[in-house]
Amino acid sequence: MADPQPVPVPGLLPLDRRVGQYRLVERIGHGGMGTVYRAEHLRLKKMVAVKLLAADRLADPGAVGRFEREMAVVGRLDHPNIVRATDAGDADGVHFLAMELVDGLDLGAVNRRCRPLAVADACEIARRAALGLQHAHEHGLVHRDVKPQNLMLSRKGEVKVLDLGLALFRAGTPDEDALTATGQLMGTANYMAPEQFDGCHTVDIRADLYSLGCTLYALLAGQPPFGGPEHKSIFGKMTAHKTKPVPRVTAARPDVPPGLVAVLDALLAKDPAARPSVPAEVATALEPFASGADLPALALVALIRGDARDTAEHATVTAANSTPVVSTRTATPGRRRRWAAAVVAGAVAATVGGAVWLSRRPAADLVPEVPAGLLAPRVPVAGDDIKPDVAALEPRISGRWYDLLKTRPTEFHWWDPKGINDWKHDPARGMVRVVYANNTGLLSFGRADSGGFRLQIGFQQPAWTGDFGLFFGGKRSPDGQSVRFQYLRFASFANAGEQQFRLYRGQNEIANLLKPPPLVRPRDWVSSEVTSPDQHEQELTIEVGHAGLQLVKWNEMKCHDLLTVNEKFSADDYTGEYGIYFFKTNFTVVSAKLKPTD
């Protein structure tokens, strides 16, 4: 196929057309100053984000100057927490800026889908954003529009600062000041520092720290400090930021520790002098509260919870950045400008979609549908809440594999008092996604009351943090007060700086089911180190016979150590519910099958 031909007209260009060395593939953002495209570098065969200046702005020297200033601003920065510029120029009359294409979601979208965020996750996001802002500060830059929509969370868990279109940099040539009209107020009202409402040209890095405080507050409380319905107008928000006390974050999040409340109080001080002086101080202050953060897991949860455009093999979620608020006010005559405006007011940020790829092996050895009469319905027991259309089925024919993902699992135990846990069953694609589980959960595939069986489940997880596995021998007490079961649990841990993985065999009883909160009593009896997982499906297989547990395999690795405690269990401990077991984690089951053995 020949290279696309250059087009001399900028603006909303047709897709699959060429601008310099770039082929435009998809429009991913549009605003008054220009359009952002997903594009392919024709020689490097690499996807990037390319921003083009709008055609109707070419005749405006100020707009062209601001666009060129943006090139200079982004080009001078090189930091893992800031989106990098890769190229810039003028090709056939088209002004363009090429930037790295980030595979993920902006934090505005993440917060909408997952709010409220865990304290550790919110603090780690803010900490990494502070590191990016520190780098910008060291190069004389003030962002002026820090907010969740201008922070990107990649699928790998990276945090990147976006959109330097409103940035200021320290004094340069006299004509730089003319690039932004006198009296123009720039920023986003929900996140603007009090002094930014008085003069966007006079703010310093401490205004960014106030905005970062509003952002952290929003990640913890679900909305910024003055984002409620009582502050609808820009004037109302301005008045609140300037004069009203910040609502206590603990009113929305009682679990926020006092030390973190103190950090927020300092960031959100009305007086800039009372705030931290540089972003590095904020990053250091947040570090103790970020312990235990798992941003790759958060990214996966956010992607799965989105309105995905599913195909047979993958799901893609795309989110668009919100446009900064740009309003006009009367400037005080003779106000001295200490900073110079550097680029585009109301610029478009390059927010791109992310994809979750789930590889599956052929399932030709499975029976896709079992003829009527060969399966017996799972019998409800006291305390069960089973709907007829989701009842699990028990295979009766020995020696044949049965696909357990054709039927929706039942919640053998699922406690979700805050309504934040979530799991999804997709029978067409043959998978179960545990999107988020903040407590111990048990999803049952069926019930084995007699005879032996082999159970094989395939798992996928973005960062292999573990805390999932399978259970069997699940029983509910006659009064419905408790459940007990055996489990095999996959876990990850650090040893001398290296990540290692083990399977644990144990027994658990969950009591107080009718008078919550439940009391969970797990006991690990024995463990076995297993091979490190890769990015593909990892299989956990067990075989239960008359003599108890006879086989445990992690992929092709047999775990003989886990069979050494069979004497601790009676025959009754092997009959009952079987399925998947998990605790405070997220993962996907991409295959699950069972074969009766006698």
Q: Are residues 80 and 132 in the same domain?
A: no
**Digit-coded pLDDT (tens) for 489-535:** 999 987 777 889 999 999 999 999 988 889 999 999 999 999 999 87
The CATH number of residue 131's host domain is 1.10.510.10
pLDDT at 304 over 60: yes
Q: Are residues 535 and 407 in the same domain?
A: yes
The CATH number of residue 464's host domain is 2.60.120
Q: Which two tokens stand for residue 571?
A: 């025959």
Q: Respond yes or no: is residue 145 known to be catalytic.
A: yes
Q: Are residues 382 and 529 in the same domain?
A: yes
Q: Are residues 308 and 387 in the same domain?
A: no
Do the domain assignments include residue 365?
A: no
Do the domain assignments include residue 10?
A: no
Determine the average pLDDT of the residues in 563-573.
93
Q: Are residues 348 and 473 in the same domain?
A: no
Do the domain assignments include residue 25?
A: yes
Do the domain assignments include residue 11?
A: no
- Euclidean distance between CA atoms 505 and 563, whole angstroms: 9
Instruction: Determine the pLDDT at residue 345.
Output: 26
Q: Are residues 263 and 397 in the same domain?
A: no
Q: Are residues 112 and 255 in the same domain?
A: yes
Instruction: Determine the pLDDT at residue 375.
Output: 31
Do the domain assignments include residue 7?
A: no
Instruction: Determine the pLDDT at residue 321.
Output: 32
**Digit-coded pLDDT (tens) for 360-388:** 233 333 333 333 322 333 333 333 333 33
Determine the average pLDDT of the residues in 181-189.
61
263 or 334, higher pLDDT: 263
pLDDT at 538 over 90: yes
Instruction: Determine the pLDDT at residue 232.
Output: 80
Of the pLDDT bands very low, low, confident and very high (cuts 50, 70, 90), residue 13 is low
The number of folded domains in the chain is 3
Lowest mean pLDDT among 158-172, 250-264, 308-322, 462-476: 308-322
- Provide the mean pLDDT of the chain: 78
Do the domain assignments include residue 133?
A: yes
Determine the average pLDDT of the residues in 236-251.
92
Q: Are residues 534 and 487 in the same domain?
A: yes
Q: Is 412 left (phi over 0), alpha (psi -120 to 50) or beta?
A: alpha
Q: Are residues 89 and 192 in the same domain?
A: no
Which residues in 311-378 belong to E strands, given as ranges? Answer: 314-317, 325-328, 339-341, 354-357, 375-377
Tell me the residue range of the domain where 474 lies. Answer: 375-596
Determine the average pLDDT of the residues in 381-406.
57
Instruction: Determine the pLDDT at residue 186.
Output: 66
**Digit-coded pLDDT (tens) for 315-357:** 222 222 333 343 333 333 333 222 222 222 222 332 222 222 2
The CATH number of residue 64's host domain is 3.30.200.20
367 DSSP 8-state letter: B
Instruction: Determine the pLDDT at residue 168.
Output: 61
Determine the average pLDDT of the residues in 56-72.
71
pLDDT at 466 over 80: yes
Determine the average pLDDT of the residues in 120-146.
93
Of the pLDDT bands very low, low, confident and very high (cuts 50, 70, 90), residue 412 is very high
Q: What is the 3-state secondary structure (H, E, C) of 22-55?
A: EEEEEEEEECCCEEEEEEEECCCCEEEEEEEECH
- Euclidean distance between CA atoms 350 and 335, whole angstroms: 34
Lowest mean pLDDT among 223-232, 245-254, 345-354, 477-486: 345-354
Q: Which amino acid is at 94?
A: V
Q: Are residues 138 and 262 in the same domain?
A: yes
Determine the average pLDDT of the residues in 125-140.
94
Percent of the chain with pLDDT over 70: 76
Q: Are residues 94 and 112 in the same domain?
A: no
Q: Are residues 277 and 414 in the same domain?
A: no
- Euclidean distance between CA atoms 95 and 388, whole angstroms: 62
Do the domain assignments include residue 315?
A: yes
Q: Which of 87, 92, 121, 145 is catalytic?
A: 145
| 51 assigned to a ligand binding site | yes
pLDDT at 30 over 70: no
